[in-house]
Structure 1
Amino acid sequence: MIADLTALQVLNRLPESVVVTDPSGTILYVNEAFCKVTGYAATEATGQNPRMLKSGRHDAEFYNHMWQSIRETGFWHGEIWNKRKNGEIYLENLSISAVKDAEGRPTHYLGVFSDITDKKIAEDRLRFLAYYDFLTGIPNRTLAVNRLTQALAHARRYHKMAAVLFMDLDLFKKVNDSMGHNMGDQLLKAVAVRLKLCVREEDTVARMGGDEFAVILPDILNRDDASKVANKILDRVGQPVNAEGVELFITPSIGISFYPADAENAEVLLKCADQAMYRAKDRGRNNYQIYGDDQKS
């Protein structure tokens, strides 16, 4: 097979990388695309084992599963992280086929792969943009609603409480208009960092859009737990932010709603917290209000 000149010419012109080994795994042939992707010259790769490309990202079980599939079906296909000659890690879309003789014994193994690192990076970037806020790096509204829905399902199953804190930065538009959008962006990033310092690891801090943020508190014991977080936020966010040598001051208005007392649906619970937040603004800003408390007083 390898000696066939026409076959070699075809393989060398393929855009996909090709590697051929004998039954023991010794490399007999690599094409030009292989050399371009891995950085190894054909003379360097020939006589070696494909293990020279191992990145260390996969455990023994991964490779055992791969070779079990090849032994049982004569084929394996999947994604695998490998390492170029220069040490750079890259992602392959790899297919391995067993070439067998008339008795069904492997005579060669044929590996064909494409470097899909850039595609993977682009996909991860799109996935990030779908669920995370580009400016602050925290979850966006879509992910916040997903997380809240999961938190409510957990609370429903185990008869727990959950809370939502919805907040808006007071007079943020005035900062944006007077100091510029760049200063406003720095302020939003600083607020996101401070909010995360006010909550537990299992809680979610999200930017809902503009200068609106939400905090999801799953599995709380009582209303005081949410009030304590709200007070932490009022204290931390109210501290001055140094942006490009300028001290910026901002305060939050916060509304709080609870599951199951106020709503059993994620979107409705957010609306309840939003309504409470507007009441906090009506009461002078820089405070928190609990949904329904105005009706009880």
Structure 2
Amino acid sequence: MSLLEGRVAIVTGAGRGIGRAHALELARHGAAVVVNDYGVSLAGEDTGETPAESVVAEIEAAGGQAVVNRADVADFEAASDMVRQAIDTFGGLDVLVNNAGFVRDRMLVNTSEEEWDAVVRVHLKGHFAPLRHAGAYWRTESKSGRERSARVINTSSGAGLQGSVGQATYSAAKAGIAGLTLVAAQELGRYGVTVNAIAPVARTRMTEGAFDTSAMALPEDNSPIVAWLASVEAGDVTGRVIEIEGGKITVENGWSHGPARDLGARWSAPDVGPALRRLLADAPAPEPVYGA
């Protein structure tokens, strides 16, 4: 049996780049796929294009099952309808790959309110809305005695984990996704759901033009780990953020408690400085921000 035979997946932002590669990889391993893409430009503007249709055609030509979905994943009701489409079309939902997003890179002091709202909306709310509706479905299934071995794979970024100059908005949204992943893993675990995040590195529309991408991995280099995380076999892996760069897989440690000192009483402001400096001296240096 194929790794994902009989499983039903949604992949958001699957018309191009990394999302497209994910959809094709999941289908290659036997999953029926809802291929979501709103058809927008790199900056999130409607282009009227329907790239999801070509991905579905490619999956079907290879003998797989797929269907187009053009929902705005940050629209709460549209996200609900997307989850319902998977259930009504293929008989259930087992895998949610949250991938959709766009960038509007700008130095912090030049970022407009509209740019901030648009990027945070598509990345952070665009993860929350599908996850919320899928999670509610899986909870109902579990309570009805039909627990599914469900999997969520979110998409963070090195920008969200280490920061990236010129990408304050994007970095904040991607850091939020990492935090959402940790909470969702704990809350949904009781229903048989695992929740992990990947931080992919690849040559895509988001990276081309920003810097030299000639040595970067291809979008499809990120997809095998998504296929494995989507499998029943991966049931013991949850609450993790995993960076992928070509053939290199890195488990990110994230925030963890470091050196500490408990005074046993309220600190006085003049005493904070010397104490904090000693703690910082014992703590590992933070990784440099991208572009610093």
Query: Taking structure 1 as the reference length, what is the TM-score of the superposition?
Result: 0.25
Query: Taking structure 2 as the reference length, what is the TM-score of the superposition?
Result: 0.26
The structure whose RCO (Cα within 8 Å, separation 6+) is larger is 2
